[in-house]
Chains A and B, each alone.
Chain A
């Protein structure tokens, strides 16, 4: 029947965040995430109204659903490796660039983890590309400072060994 897919498309699915906030989205949007699709497939038809719990904060789930809703009809662009530029807008287009340009860096990493958890490969790629853009021109010291990471204690021998190992890709040969 021609109408069957349309009916499925119009079906609404309830997803809940770890904070209990419930979102009602179209079937197509929910199924953009492979994990959610599997969960929907797993539930029987009689349990349409059942809410599917997702282990994501409300703010993160909102962003994920926004991405799924947009890209179910707009195929995301493939991101070339390595990134030819750090201006993501040139690579992925305005919508994706604006979407991933989150104010809070924590949110970016939350999105990376969420995309990984929900198995949304294009979102994972996009968020990882954004994270890569952020660190592309940073020195290891700057990264430590930016992410508040503690420098590790190394013996002089270990340090020398590491410097020797990295010499080939360190400008001027001195790490």
Chain B
């Protein structure tokens, strides 16, 4: 956004313009004492952290004051006499604690009162009279008030309210009433029911219809045996029941021409269900969602009153329905009668395989099938694709946990889609597939994924070739993309070209997390043009067991932009996790790193090397975590990077040493502590291992606290850091 040529706005009053110039300054920018200090919108998170940290300090000061209260009685007159001046020094200490407590309190008060400025607005760069024709752009319709909005917009406003709350607004005025009762966009055409409306649609609606004609409940009385008694409401007469049924029928009639349905907790609603079925000829879009795990919890649809689907039940055909969104297919038997002959698009957020198959069986004209990502497809679901010959838009198909599963799924997909997609009538029809790569599959792709292992299976390139020939555009995505540099190859695999290159580029672009497996041969430089992880915020490096292992970090991952200094390939990474283990498993009992290894890890972190280069290139880094195999679990947080040439400042290092069996193993952590030099060390050690503490004290640390979870906390006394 261009902001350089700011000018005072013609329509802004001078005071506002002045405020605008001064706005956004720091706390100190507020010159007037009466004005509430304001900070920039971008600083609000830092402000929150600051307040939280100060509150922690305040709590600590209170604890110190609490301990000091117990100290004074122990300073007997004999001790005071023997040690002249001790009483005064203790008082000074007490006063300093009190002073610090009130200072922190005052600071918190000051920061809490700070106002956060709104996000800054863009500023015009100039003002010029436009030519007459420029003024003739289509003016928008409507007036800026509730009853002045165009009908379709009023519908959007009211669509955010449950129907039972929106309908009464027709009492506002004639204009609102017209909009609410509009034949196309009116409220009666769009059923919206929120959670917690079960009581209203079950009983409330009946009570409202009954209104004043409801028999008054007899007054409570006091019985000499039972005490205060509320008698049961008398039964309604048959005429009263008829009147209610008539009223309900009227409502149902007015709700029998629904066009859209949006219900939360659908399985709980019998009356709306009847209205939905009554509107089977008009509903075009339906969205049924649930709040929480209620699948199968409803008893409404399995009782005799409501009835289940029977052999002689008439099918309910939603002849106009084009779009359906479901958390899952409702479990009630009655839903089994539903058919969707015109349904073109269905989306599931939380479906199981039977749900998907159930809907596909009922909707043979389906064109679009969307399933939530991160969900594996099973063979039966893939086989069901054949039931819908017009299906041309499918996502997200998640490739299996292993290469074998992935190849098998790709083969099945081709097998099921090819018969229909290769028909002459489908030529020229745009087809789309969304495929998600499982995080268990790494690049460079394994041989088995790339090449046909048997005549019955297709490899990835062959699948891409088939898709291209069928006119299918594939959208690739990956939540986690693993780069495998752990193999000890003679020559690293060069980057693919053509369709495979596009595939890898898409995966890299979409990945939120990158896992880099070290220990072998680095990726060929040709991968640099494909692996730009523009969305990734976390980098995990495994196999960081020695400086040599880190030579497999591809050099291009450490390159930075000349101008901004940001990493070219990992621009958004804020979190780094490094593990000495070769895998992501942190609990393998089999992997024990020898003492000498720790020194190597220490060198790796603190000394020059690829990891250091990588750290230097990750300019947005916030926390750094180091995980070893089993004995040590290190969580290292850094204050952020000051520049590419400087080491990260480690704030804290946590080491879990409970499973260490020898003193030597415990002692081996000291080179790591000394190398990383964190401000604070948290050791989870067996209490008997005092040797370790002594050694730590020798390094200039003091025991801070014995925690419940973490055995000991050590503080670096060599201030300032």
Residues of chain A having any CB pair with chain B under 8 Å: 2, 12, 16-26, 29, 51, 53-55, 58-59, 62-63, 65-66, 69-70, 79-84, 94-95, 98-99, 106, 109-110, 112-114, 116-117, 124-125, 128-129, 131-133, 135-136, 140, 143-144, 147, 149-152, 162, 166-175
B216 CB within 8 Å of chain A: no
B172 touches A149 (CB 8 A): yes
A21 touches B124 (CB 8 A): yes
Which residues, 168 to 227 on B, are CB-close (under 8 Å) to A? Answer: 168-174, 177, 192-195, 204-205, 207-212
CB distance from A121 to the nearest CB of B (A): 9
Contact of A53 among B11, B130, B212 (CB under 8 A): B130
User: Could you pull out 6 A-B pairs where Cβ atoms are within 8 angstroms?
Assistant: A16-B134, A98-B119, A129-B160, A135-B157, A168-B250, A172-B211
Residues in B with CB closer than 8 Å to A54 are: 137
A62 touches B168 (CB 8 A): no
Which residues, 107 to 155 on B, are CB-close (under 8 Å) to A? Answer: 118-130, 134-135, 137-150, 153
Residues in B with CB closer than 8 Å to A135 are: 146, 157, 161, 169
A147 touches B130 (CB 8 A): no
B99 CB within 8 Å of chain A: no
A53 to B162: give the CA distance in the assembly, Å.
39
A53 touches B137 (CB 8 A): yes
B193 touches A16 (CB 8 A): no
A102 to B185: give the CA distance in the assembly, Å.
28
> Which B residue's beta carbon lies closest to that of A17?
B124
Given contacts A98-B118, A168-B205, contact A24 B170 (CB under 8 A): no
Residues in B with CB closer than 8 Å to A175 are: 168, 171
Residues in B with CB closer than 8 Å to A22 are: 124-128
Residues in B with CB closer than 8 Å to A84 are: 194-195
With contacts A82-B162, A117-B140, A173-B207 known, what are 5 further pairs, Cβ within 8 A?
A81-B159, A81-B192, A98-B118, A109-B146, A173-B212
Given contacts A16-B130, A125-B156, A166-B168, contact A143 B1 (CB under 8 A): no
Instruction: Please give me the 3 A-B residue pairs with the lowest Cβ-Cβ distance, nearest first.
Output: A173-B211, A109-B144, A117-B140
Among A51, A69, A169: residue with most chain B CB under 10 A? A169
Residues in A with CB closer than 8 Å to B171 are: 140, 162, 166, 175
A143 touches B146 (CB 8 A): yes
Among A2, A21, A55, A63: residue with most chain B CB under 10 A? A21
B295 CB within 8 Å of chain A: no
> Which A residue's beta carbon lies closest to that of B152?
A116
A168 touches B208 (CB 8 A): yes
Residues in B with CB closer than 8 Å to A53 are: 130, 134-135, 137
Q: How large is the interface on B (under 10, 10 to 19, 20 to 34, 35 or more residues)?
A: 35 or more
> Which B residue's beta carbon lies closest to that of A138?
B169
CB distance from A15 to the nearest CB of B (A): 10
Residues in A with CB closer than 8 Å to B167 are: 166, 169
CB distance from A1 to the nearest CB of B (A): 12
B168 touches A82 (CB 8 A): no
CB distance from A2 to the nearest CB of B (A): 8
A70 touches B119 (CB 8 A): yes
Residues in B with CB closer than 8 Å to A117 are: 138, 140
Residues in B with CB closer than 8 Å to A70 are: 119
Residues in B with CB closer than 8 Å to A174 are: 211-212
B193 touches A99 (CB 8 A): no
Contact of B122 among A23, A162, A166, A168 (CB under 8 A): A23
Residues in A with CB closer than 8 Å to B150 are: 116
Which residues, 272 to 296 on B, are CB-close (under 8 Å) to A? Answer: 287, 289
CB distance from A137 to the nearest CB of B (A): 9
B130 touches A151 (CB 8 A): no
Given contacts A54-B137, A131-B157, A135-B146, contact A152 B205 (CB under 8 A): no
A29 to B138: give the CA distance in the assembly, Å.
21
Given contacts A20-B127, A25-B1, A66-B122, contact A132 B170 (CB under 8 A): no
A82 to B173: give the CA distance in the assembly, Å.
23
> Which B residue's beta carbon lies closest to that of A107?
B144
CB distance from B300 to the nearest CB of A (A): 20
Contact of A25 among B122, B177, B193 (CB under 8 A): B122
B11 touches A19 (CB 8 A): yes
A162 touches B170 (CB 8 A): yes
B262 touches A69 (CB 8 A): no
CB distance from B438 to the nearest CB of A (A): 23
B121 touches A21 (CB 8 A): no
Among B122, B126, B127, B165: residue with most chain A CB under 10 A? B122
A44 to B662: give the CA distance in the assembly, Å.
76
CB distance from A128 to the nearest CB of B (A): 4
Given contacts A59-B11, A83-B160, A132-B161, contact A140 B130 (CB under 8 A): no
B156 touches A128 (CB 8 A): yes
B10 CB within 8 Å of chain A: yes
B2 touches A152 (CB 8 A): no
A19 to B9: give the CA distance in the assembly, Å.
11
A21 touches B161 (CB 8 A): no
> Which B residue's beta carbon lies closest to that of A134?
B146
A116 touches B153 (CB 8 A): yes
Residues in A with CB closer than 8 Å to B148 are: 109
B582 CB within 8 Å of chain A: no
A150 to B172: give the CA distance in the assembly, Å.
9
Residues in B with CB closer than 8 Å to A170 are: 168, 208
Given contacts A58-B11, A170-B168, contact A124 B156 (CB under 8 A): yes
CB distance from A107 to the nearest CB of B (A): 8
B251 touches A82 (CB 8 A): no
Residues in A with CB closer than 8 Å to B127 are: 19-22
Residues in A with CB closer than 8 Å to B160 are: 79, 81-83, 128-129, 132-133
A164 to B148: give the CA distance in the assembly, Å.
27
Residues in A with CB closer than 8 Å to B480 are: none
B164 CB within 8 Å of chain A: yes
A65 to B126: give the CA distance in the assembly, Å.
16
A12 touches B208 (CB 8 A): no
A169 touches B208 (CB 8 A): yes
B41 CB within 8 Å of chain A: yes
> Which A residue's beta carbon lies closest to that of B212?
A173
> Which A residue's beta carbon lies closest to that of B124?
A21
B209 touches A167 (CB 8 A): yes
B437 CB within 8 Å of chain A: no
Given contacts A109-B145, A116-B150, contact A152 B126 (CB under 8 A): no
Residues in B with CB closer than 8 Å to A55 are: 137-140
CB distance from B198 to the nearest CB of A (A): 14
> Which A residue's beta carbon lies closest to that of B158?
A132
A128 touches B172 (CB 8 A): no
B247 CB within 8 Å of chain A: yes
A109 touches B119 (CB 8 A): no
Residues in A with CB closer than 8 Å to B212 are: 173-174
A143 to B164: give the CA distance in the assembly, Å.
17
CB distance from B705 to the nearest CB of A (A): 35
> Which A residue's beta carbon lies closest to that of B196?
A84
CB distance from B419 to the nearest CB of A (A): 36
Residues in B with CB closer than 8 Å to A106 are: 144-145
CB distance from A36 to the nearest CB of B (A): 11
Contact of B172 among A17, A113, A140 (CB under 8 A): A140
Residues in B with CB closer than 8 Å to A168 are: 205, 208-209, 247-248, 250-251
Residues in A with CB closer than 8 Å to B121 are: 62-63, 66
> Which B residue's beta carbon lies closest to that of A16?
B130
Contact of B173 among A19, A149, A172 (CB under 8 A): A149
A129 to B334: give the CA distance in the assembly, Å.
34
Residues in A with CB closer than 8 Å to B153 are: 112-113, 116, 124, 128
Residues in A with CB closer than 8 Å to B248 are: 168
Among B134, B149, B194, B264: residue with most chain A CB under 10 A? B134
Residues in B with CB closer than 8 Å to A131 are: 146, 157
Given contacts A25-B122, A169-B164, A171-B208, contact A82 B193 (CB under 8 A): yes
